[in-house]
Amino acid sequence: MAASGIRVFSGTSNPDLARGIAAYLELSLGAIDVFRFADGEIGVRIEESVRGEDVFVVQPTCPPASETLMELLVIIDAVRRASAARITAVIPYFGYARQDRKMKPREPISAKLVANLLTTAGAHRVLTLDLHAGQLWGFFDIPLDHLPGRMILGDYFRRLSLENVVVVSPDIGGVKRAREFAEYLRAPLAIIDKRRDRPNQVAEVVHVIGKVYRRTAILVDDIIDTGGTLAMGAEALMRRGVRDVYACCTHAILSPLAAARILRSPIRQLVVTDSIPVPPEKRTEKVTVISVAGLLGEAIRRVHADQSVSELFGQPPRTMQPAAEGE
């Protein structure tokens, strides 16, 4: 049955995902015109009435992050001025999330600034997927619903029926995420201790903590950017006698050369979601893309009905659809 009283609008960063969410809800996407003025400024026109409606704006703030973020803010402002009753920013990938603390003097905390901008623009709620760090929840002065990627990625690996599995965190910072994934799969946990001097620099593996010999390893991360961390982690695991290496992440940024780096690595399969669009040139034979449209669609239905979103976490495995080519 179609969800009544809900309007779903999409920005330009991932319209295929937005269409999948709308299809899950048995709705059509809201009519919106997003355009650029001659000087490059972003313009938005909402082409249907949203007065008194519960509006969900789907826009991951993926690269180019500043463009997609500004577009999201302008859309929210347009919907607010059109008298929507409630506005939820559906941000499957939350850009600027890795700028969540001051590492050196005179640096910004950009993630907090983005949270403030969303509130100022007029968002009443945020729905997101696999935030990079737990402290990001505290940056928002409006309700935030957070969906863990393990619900989709874990179900996929359950269906593969792999034997003698060990879940591996590629760094110390991802231990909590990997531990939750390991508990979901009822598998042991191992940790790669690495050293990196600066962001986007390929790390040096110092030690592997845990029993990995002759096991099937699943490297778990939230974001793949350059691919260097996973590739080096996979090589380190193979040197320590791992039988096979799989990898998964929620947000596949896959910066230039990342796909080739993964292709050359010992990783047998990399499983990602379509929280960020993965174009055909990045979809090598090792990359599998799973859609999160159904998960986000069900969360939207529950938010609209003022039902619990966290109850989704205890649901049995879902039937997953592969993401369509070009998403």
- pLDDT band, residue 188 (cuts 50/70/90): very high
Cβ–Cβ < 8 Å for 253, 62:
yes
Structure tokens, 263:
């292709």
Question: pLDDT tens, 28-72?
Answer: 999 999 999 999 999 999 999 999 999 999 999 999 999 999 999
41 labelled binding-site residue: yes
The model's confidence at residue 237, banded by pLDDT at 50, 70 and 90, is very high
- Which domains, from first to last, does the chain contain? 6-148+292-314 (3.40.50.2020), 150-290 (3.40.50.2020)
Please tell me which residue in 102, 112, 194, 286 is annotated as part of the active site: 194
Nearest CA-CA partner of 277 in 24, 3, 11: 11
- Would the annotation count 99 as a binding residue? yes
The predicted pLDDT at position 199 comes to 56
With bands split at pLDDT 50, 70 and 90, how would you rate the model's confidence at 319? very low
pLDDT of residue 1: 52
C-alpha distance from residue 323 to each of 111, 168, 205, 260, 303 (Å)? 28, 25, 33, 21, 24
Distance between CA atoms of residues 286 and 253, nearest Å? 16
For residue 229, say whether it is annotated as part of any ligand binding site.
yes
Q: Helix H segments across 127-204? A: 150-160, 175-185
Q: Identify whether the C-beta of residue 273 lies closer than 8 Å to the C-beta of residue 16.
A: no
Q: Do the annotations mark residue 40 as ligand-binding?
A: yes
Annotated binding residue 228? yes
User: In whole angstroms, what is the distance from residue 47 CA to residue 266 CA?
Assistant: 50
pLDDT by residue (tens digit) across 225-234?
999 889 999 9
Amino acid present at 266: P
Q: Is residue 321's pLDDT more than 60? A: no
pLDDT digits (tens, 9 = 90+) for 75-100: 999 999 999 999 999 999 999 988 88
List the one residue out of 314, 23, 19, 323 whose CA is nearest residue 151: 314
Cβ contact 283:289 at 8 Å: yes
194 assigned to active site: yes
Burial class (CB within 10 angstroms; exposed 0-12, middle 13-18, buried 19+) of 324: middle
Q: Please report, for residues 84, 133, 192, 245, the alpha-carbon distance to residue 220 in angstroms, rounded to integers and kept in the order given.
A: 39, 15, 11, 11
Which segments of 240-322 does DSSP mark as H helices, in order?
Answer: 258-264, 293-304
In degrees rounded to 5, what are phi and psi of residue 167?
-90, 135
Contacts of residue 48, defined as CB under 8 A and 6 or more positions apart, other chains included, come to 7, 30, 31
Helix/strand/coil for 67: helix
| C-beta separation of 139 from 117 below 8 A | no
On the question of pLDDT at 317 being above 80, the answer is: no
| φ/ψ (deg, to 5) at 271 | -105, 125
